Amino acid sequence: MIEKIAISVEFILSKVSVDWQDTLWAFDHKLLGWKSIIELAEKRILDGSEVELEIDLAFSGKGNSEFVGQTLRELASTESPRPDSVAHDKWLYVVLAWLFENREAFSAPLSNVEEIYADFDYPEDIVEFIAYMPSIDEYDPSRHSPDENTQRMFRKWEEYLTSNEKLYRISAESV
Protein backbone atom coordinates (compact mmCIF):
# COMPACT_ATOMS: atom_id res chain seq x y z
CA MET A 1 0.00 0.00 0.00
CA ILE A 2 1.24 3.46 -0.70
CA GLU A 3 3.07 5.14 2.11
CA LYS A 4 1.68 8.20 3.86
CA ILE A 5 -1.87 7.03 3.46
CA ALA A 6 -3.86 7.99 6.51
CA ILE A 7 -7.50 8.18 5.64
CA SER A 8 -9.53 9.80 8.38
CA VAL A 9 -12.77 8.29 9.59
CA GLU A 10 -14.42 11.60 8.77
CA PHE A 11 -13.29 11.32 5.12
CA ILE A 12 -14.41 7.69 4.89
CA LEU A 13 -17.87 8.45 6.25
CA SER A 14 -18.19 11.41 3.89
CA LYS A 15 -17.79 8.98 0.98
CA VAL A 16 -19.45 5.72 2.02
CA SER A 17 -21.36 4.08 4.80
CA VAL A 18 -19.43 1.27 6.41
CA ASP A 19 -20.59 -1.64 8.48
CA TRP A 20 -18.42 -3.86 10.66
CA GLN A 21 -17.68 -6.29 7.83
CA ASP A 22 -16.35 -3.41 5.72
CA THR A 23 -14.36 -2.21 8.69
CA LEU A 24 -12.91 -5.66 9.36
CA TRP A 25 -11.87 -5.99 5.72
CA ALA A 26 -10.06 -2.63 5.92
CA PHE A 27 -8.46 -3.58 9.25
CA ASP A 28 -7.26 -6.93 7.89
CA HIS A 29 -5.82 -5.18 4.81
CA LYS A 30 -4.11 -2.51 6.92
CA LEU A 31 -6.20 0.37 5.62
CA LEU A 32 -7.51 1.13 9.11
CA GLY A 33 -5.74 0.87 12.42
CA TRP A 34 -7.18 0.23 15.84
CA LYS A 35 -7.57 3.96 16.57
CA SER A 36 -9.87 4.33 13.57
CA ILE A 37 -11.88 1.29 14.66
CA ILE A 38 -12.40 2.87 18.07
CA GLU A 39 -13.38 6.15 16.43
CA LEU A 40 -15.98 4.37 14.31
CA ALA A 41 -17.41 2.74 17.42
CA GLU A 42 -17.49 6.12 19.18
CA LYS A 43 -19.41 7.61 16.24
CA ARG A 44 -21.93 4.77 16.44
CA ILE A 45 -22.43 5.42 20.15
CA LEU A 46 -22.86 9.15 19.51
CA ASP A 47 -25.46 8.25 16.86
CA GLY A 48 -27.42 6.36 19.51
CA SER A 49 -26.15 2.79 19.32
CA GLU A 50 -26.61 0.76 22.47
CA VAL A 51 -24.86 -2.36 21.17
CA GLU A 52 -22.74 -3.64 24.04
CA LEU A 53 -19.78 -4.68 21.86
CA GLU A 54 -19.71 -1.22 20.24
CA ILE A 55 -19.74 0.40 23.67
CA ASP A 56 -16.91 -1.89 24.83
CA LEU A 57 -14.97 -1.04 21.70
CA ALA A 58 -15.54 2.70 22.02
CA PHE A 59 -14.19 2.68 25.57
CA SER A 60 -11.37 0.17 25.05
CA GLY A 61 -8.61 2.78 25.14
CA LYS A 62 -5.04 2.88 23.92
CA GLY A 63 -2.78 -0.12 23.67
CA ASN A 64 -5.59 -2.61 23.35
CA SER A 65 -5.14 -3.55 19.69
CA GLU A 66 -5.70 -7.26 20.34
CA PHE A 67 -9.03 -6.52 22.05
CA VAL A 68 -10.00 -4.18 19.21
CA GLY A 69 -9.32 -6.85 16.57
CA GLN A 70 -11.19 -9.52 18.52
CA THR A 71 -14.20 -7.28 19.20
CA LEU A 72 -14.26 -6.11 15.58
CA ARG A 73 -14.41 -9.75 14.44
CA GLU A 74 -17.29 -10.41 16.84
CA LEU A 75 -19.19 -7.36 15.57
CA ALA A 76 -18.63 -8.34 11.93
CA SER A 77 -19.89 -11.87 12.64
CA THR A 78 -23.24 -10.45 13.81
CA GLU A 79 -23.96 -9.05 10.32
CA SER A 80 -25.36 -10.97 7.38
CA PRO A 81 -22.52 -12.55 5.43
CA ARG A 82 -21.72 -11.22 1.98
CA PRO A 83 -18.88 -11.61 -0.52
CA ASP A 84 -15.55 -9.93 0.28
CA SER A 85 -15.79 -8.24 -3.12
CA VAL A 86 -18.33 -5.79 -1.68
CA ALA A 87 -15.86 -4.44 0.87
CA HIS A 88 -12.98 -4.70 -1.62
CA ASP A 89 -14.75 -2.50 -4.16
CA LYS A 90 -15.90 0.00 -1.54
CA TRP A 91 -12.39 0.42 -0.12
CA LEU A 92 -10.87 0.67 -3.59
CA TYR A 93 -13.17 3.60 -4.20
CA VAL A 94 -12.36 5.20 -0.83
CA VAL A 95 -8.59 4.87 -1.28
CA LEU A 96 -8.70 6.24 -4.83
CA ALA A 97 -10.98 9.10 -3.77
CA TRP A 98 -8.63 10.00 -0.94
CA LEU A 99 -5.59 9.88 -3.21
CA PHE A 100 -7.35 11.96 -5.87
CA GLU A 101 -8.32 14.63 -3.36
CA ASN A 102 -4.76 14.65 -1.97
CA ARG A 103 -2.89 14.14 -5.25
CA GLU A 104 -0.99 17.43 -4.91
CA ALA A 105 0.82 15.97 -1.89
CA PHE A 106 2.36 13.22 -4.05
CA SER A 107 5.07 13.64 -6.65
CA ALA A 108 3.58 10.97 -8.93
CA PRO A 109 -0.04 10.21 -8.01
CA LEU A 110 -0.59 8.04 -11.08
CA SER A 111 2.30 5.85 -9.92
CA ASN A 112 0.51 5.57 -6.58
CA VAL A 113 -2.61 4.47 -8.46
CA GLU A 114 -0.51 1.70 -10.03
CA GLU A 115 0.48 0.55 -6.53
CA ILE A 116 -3.17 0.55 -5.50
CA TYR A 117 -4.01 -1.39 -8.66
CA ALA A 118 -1.53 -4.08 -7.60
CA ASP A 119 -2.53 -4.00 -3.91
CA PHE A 120 -6.19 -4.54 -4.85
CA ASP A 121 -5.36 -7.47 -7.16
CA TYR A 122 -5.58 -5.64 -10.50
CA PRO A 123 -9.26 -4.65 -10.65
CA GLU A 124 -10.58 -4.17 -14.16
CA ASP A 125 -12.61 -1.14 -13.01
CA ILE A 126 -9.53 1.07 -12.97
CA VAL A 127 -7.50 -0.24 -15.90
CA GLU A 128 -8.31 2.91 -17.93
CA PHE A 129 -6.10 5.04 -15.73
CA ILE A 130 -3.17 2.67 -15.32
CA ALA A 131 -0.37 4.07 -17.46
CA TYR A 132 1.22 0.78 -18.54
CA MET A 133 -2.07 -0.85 -19.54
CA PRO A 134 -3.21 -0.69 -23.16
CA SER A 135 -6.14 1.55 -23.95
CA ILE A 136 -9.46 -0.31 -24.00
CA ASP A 137 -11.12 2.07 -26.42
CA GLU A 138 -10.13 3.74 -29.69
CA TYR A 139 -7.67 6.08 -27.97
CA ASP A 140 -4.12 5.83 -29.33
CA PRO A 141 -1.60 7.29 -26.86
CA SER A 142 1.09 7.49 -29.57
CA ARG A 143 -0.96 10.19 -31.30
CA HIS A 144 -0.91 12.42 -28.23
CA SER A 145 1.66 14.19 -26.11
CA PRO A 146 2.70 12.76 -22.75
CA ASP A 147 0.85 15.63 -21.07
CA GLU A 148 -2.35 14.86 -23.02
CA ASN A 149 -2.06 11.18 -22.06
CA THR A 150 -1.57 12.09 -18.41
CA GLN A 151 -4.54 14.46 -18.45
CA ARG A 152 -6.66 11.73 -20.02
CA MET A 153 -5.76 9.31 -17.23
CA PHE A 154 -6.69 11.90 -14.63
CA ARG A 155 -10.05 12.41 -16.39
CA LYS A 156 -10.65 8.65 -16.44
CA TRP A 157 -9.79 8.49 -12.74
CA GLU A 158 -12.23 11.28 -12.01
CA GLU A 159 -14.93 9.55 -14.11
CA TYR A 160 -14.42 6.37 -12.07
CA LEU A 161 -14.83 8.37 -8.85
CA THR A 162 -17.94 10.18 -10.09
CA SER A 163 -19.55 6.93 -11.20
CA ASN A 164 -18.80 5.19 -7.91
CA GLU A 165 -19.79 8.19 -5.83
CA LYS A 166 -23.27 7.89 -7.34
CA LEU A 167 -23.31 4.15 -6.67
CA TYR A 168 -22.33 4.48 -3.01
CA ARG A 169 -24.60 7.47 -2.41
CA ILE A 170 -27.57 5.49 -3.77
CA SER A 171 -26.72 2.40 -1.70
CA ALA A 172 -26.20 4.51 1.44
CA GLU A 173 -29.53 6.28 0.93
CA SER A 174 -31.37 2.99 0.46
CA VAL A 175 -30.18 1.59 3.81
DSSP 79-144: SPP--HHHHHHHHHHHHHHHHHHTGGGSS-HHHHHHHHHHHTT--GGGGGG-TTSPPSSS--GGGS
Q: What is the mean pLDDT of residues 2-19?
A: 86
Q: How far apart are CA 142 and CA 122, in angstroms?
A: 24
Burial of 29 (0-12, 13-18, 19+ CB in 10 A): middle
| 160 confidence band (pLDDT: 50, 70, 90) | very high
pLDDT at 155: 96
- Count other Cβ atoms within 10 Å, centred on residue 21: 20
pTM for the whole thing?
Answer: 0.89
Report yes or no: 98 and 7 within 8 Å, Cβ to Cβ: yes
Q: How far apart are CA 153 and CA 127, in angstroms?
A: 10
Q: What is the mean pLDDT of residues 82-100?
A: 96
pLDDT above 70 coverage of the chain, percent: 93
List phi, psi (to 5°) of 24. Answer: -60, -40
| 141 confidence band (pLDDT: 50, 70, 90) | confident
Flag whether pLDDT at 62 surpasses 70. Answer: no
pLDDT, tens only, 66-86: 899 999 999 999 999 999 999
Q: How far apart are CA 161 and CA 92, in angstroms?
A: 10
Q: How far apart are CA 45 and CA 138, in angstroms?
A: 51
pLDDT, tens only, 30-60: 999 999 999 999 999 999 989 999 999 998 8
